[in-house]
Structure 1
Amino acid sequence: MFQTVLLCDHMDYSDTFASWLHEQFAYEFATQALHDWQQEFRDGQNDGNWRAVIALENGQLLGGAALAKHDSPDYSELGPWLACVLVAPSARKRGLAEQLITEVCSNAKETGHQKLYLHTQDRRHYYAKRGWEYLESFRAWGKEHSLMQRRL
């Protein structure tokens, strides 16, 4: 059975998770080297820019999600954001993403936030089924995205 924990308490997984994100969302990192992103993500666990929750099972990293201060240059006035939602292919279909998202939402609410934002390229319907409201479409990183929000 997997467990969810704060990444800041298990920093030995930070660089691995950051590399997964860099690969999965390569279009967002086109101008940022992996090493630089890993450092930014690592620092973000302490400064609150990328506060992540990860899923572990028997010491193996299965995935994660983050509460980000900023996640879209086109919407710098909005935040915080649900970001970096990623589950390893071998661990999918077990409810991990939903549990990670729930944890991030709970963390945001506990710190006084009333709503969260996200942008997604291809998972709009997934999030809509889970209470996220579609706001608008926008183009970023050469791709169409949906901007969504969820009241906490």
Structure 2
Amino acid sequence: MREAQRMLSETFLSVKEIRAKLGNIDRSHDDSFASPVERIFIGTNGAEEGGCNNPQRQGLSADLADGFRPNNVLGGIPTIALDYSPNWDAQLFEWTPSAIQQGFRGQVREEFQILNFVRDGLLTGPGGAAFGISGFSINCPIAQRLD
């Protein structure tokens, strides 16, 4: 029994060791070769009117309003993106008041669409902050892809 415990302790990391290693992951270089992270884009103030009947519905505000999924966007999909990682860097985005007033707020579905909207000033970080790393990551490997 002690031999088995010794072998397990040598094979697997403790929770403390895992936390220490995850804390050292560099989340600033997504979409670069051998990046340890994949971006997940999470809207904070997407369209929520009409609930799930609204094809533009997206974001945490919609999720909180009706209890259904927020329709987040992954930067890469397993089996398609060769650099996919199950360690997701959460990047929160918010539609600007100007974008909403001009009718641009809708469901975004693709990483580069989001990045273009950020470049064009339609999306920012929460509260108008600069868009980018939100400071937390999610470890959530996708077990099955449904087409």
TM over 0.5: no
Instruction: Name the structure, 1 or 2, with higher relative contact order (CA <8 Å, separation 6+).
Output: 2
Q: Output the TM-score relative to the length of structure 1.
A: 0.24
Query: Based on CA coordinates, which of the two structures has the bigger radius of gyration?
Result: 2
Instruction: Name whichever structure is richer in helix by fraction.
Output: 1
Q: Which has the higher strand share?
A: 1
